[in-house]
Amino acid sequence: MSQLTTSEPGKVTWRLRTDDGVELYVEATRADEGADPSGAPVLLINGITMSTESWNQLGRLLRQERPVVRYDMRGQGASDAPAGPYTRERHARDLLGLLQDLSERGLTPLHVVALSNGGYVTQLLLGWLHHAGLAAAAGLSESQRDALAERGDDILSLTLLDTFARVDARLHAAVRSWLNALAAGGAPTRFDAATPWVWGPDFLAANGEALAEARELAAGQPQDAVESLLEGLLASAETEPDLTPVLSQASLPLLVALGEDDVLTPVRNHREVLEQFGRDPEQVRTVPRAGHAAPIENAAGVAALVRPFLRKHDVPGGVDGRGVAAM
């Protein structure tokens, strides 16, 4: 890991070197003054093409009660973008390395809030955490399997937003169309192709200027990295292990929610997630006035669901004085 840097009061950033030498950008922000010290940290995990900045609104709401940790997956934001594709398995190995690093910094146990592909990745890591055979079948090294054995109690609760248990035909077709758009017209055209899948109608109607700026930012993303992210998701669909026998035995507190206008991963996908965990499929929660990017489109609506859930599952006594001071 590289040396810490401080960009603003209460916030630290660093670069984490993974097992294959890729460096991931990580940041942690201390809880606001006056927050209850029993509030355990929360780790926010990106969807495809997101960056840590995508969590700004929700992050501000969550840090009123607890430290907030974010990171960019490989190929995204400020992290390295090596040759791809970036598969679910590769992202899960990176996430395991991050948990190890956060444990050393006094930032575990923690809650996890994961969006879209981040939720897909997190479900695989949980499968590995609960079944050594799955990890061995995935080719994890002995040291990585030892690390998994040490990380079993790191995650206090899991919130999955606008996500999926498997890459179904609809999602596969959407991602393939984005790859075709990328090949035909580059990153801006890919952004245009994804727009009606990602954003809800209320957000589209009210944020034309912001979306135009987002399109410009998308145009600056390395095309190879975007392709590697999308190809990695499709490649992962070909090798999805059945996690139901493992995750259905997990007692981890679970919140599953989606934007009410999410057309990319609608309610049926979230019922499948709950069924995979052995939970009542009718427990799906919805966020009003939001599509597939609910934490961006309606951060307050997401916070209204997430904050009481996290409080309910905090560890009595807190974690190292709200965590960041231990780094």
What residues contact 175, with CB distance under 8 A and at least 6 apart? 167, 230, 233, 234
Which residue is it, tokens 């930012």? 217
Q: From CA 240, how far away is CA 237, in angstroms rounded?
A: 5
Of residues 70, 71, 73, the one with CA closest to residue 81: 73
Looking at the domain assignment, is residue 40 inside a domain?
yes
User: 10 Å Cβ neighbour count for 160?
Assistant: 27
Which residue is it, tokens 């959407």? 174
CA 71 to centroid of chain Cα atoms: 9
Straight-line distance from the first to the last Cα atom of the chain, in angstroms, rounded to the nearest whole number: 12
**CATH code at position 266:** 3.40.50.1820
Instruction: Give, for 89, the enclosing helix (H) or strand (E).
Output: helix 88-104
Looking at the domain assignment, is residue 227 inside a domain?
no
For every residue of 44-85, DSSP letters joined together read EE--TT--GGGGHHHHHHHTTTS-EEEEPPTTSTTS---SS-
Looking at the domain assignment, is residue 94 inside a domain?
yes
Q: From CA 155, how far away is CA 11, in angstroms rounded?
A: 22
Looking at the domain assignment, is residue 286 inside a domain?
yes
For 157-222, where are the alpha helices, taking DSSP H only? Answer: 169-198, 201-206, 208-219
Looking at the domain assignment, is residue 85 inside a domain?
yes
> Over the range 150-159, which residues count as b (16 or more CB within 10 Å of their CB) and which as e?
ebeebbbbbb
pLDDT given at position 6: 62
pLDDT given at position 7: 61
Number of domains in the chain: 1
Domain that holds residue 13: 5-165+241-314
Digitized pLDDT (tens) for each residue of the chain, 327 residues in all: 455 666 678 999 999 999 999 999 999 999 999 999 989 999 999 999 999 999 999 999 999 999 999 999 999 999 999 999 999 999 999 999 999 999 999 999 999 999 999 999 999 999 999 998 999 999 999 999 999 999 999 999 999 999 999 999 999 999 999 999 999 999 999 999 999 999 999 999 999 999 999 899 888 888 999 999 999 999 999 999 999 999 999 999 999 999 999 999 999 999 999 999 999 999 999 999 999 999 999 999 999 999 999 999 998 655 543 343 333
pLDDT given at position 219: 84
Looking at the domain assignment, is residue 270 inside a domain?
yes
pLDDT given at position 4: 63
For every residue of 126-155, DSSP letters joined together read HHHHH-HHHHHHTT--HHHHHHHHHSTTSE
Q: From CA 262, how far away is CA 201, in angstroms rounded?
A: 10
Asked whether 140 and 148 are in contact (CB, 8 A), the reply is yes
Q: From CA 17, how far away is CA 20, in angstroms rounded?
A: 8
Per the structure block, which two tokens stand in for 180? Answer: 């075709």
pLDDT given at position 324: 38
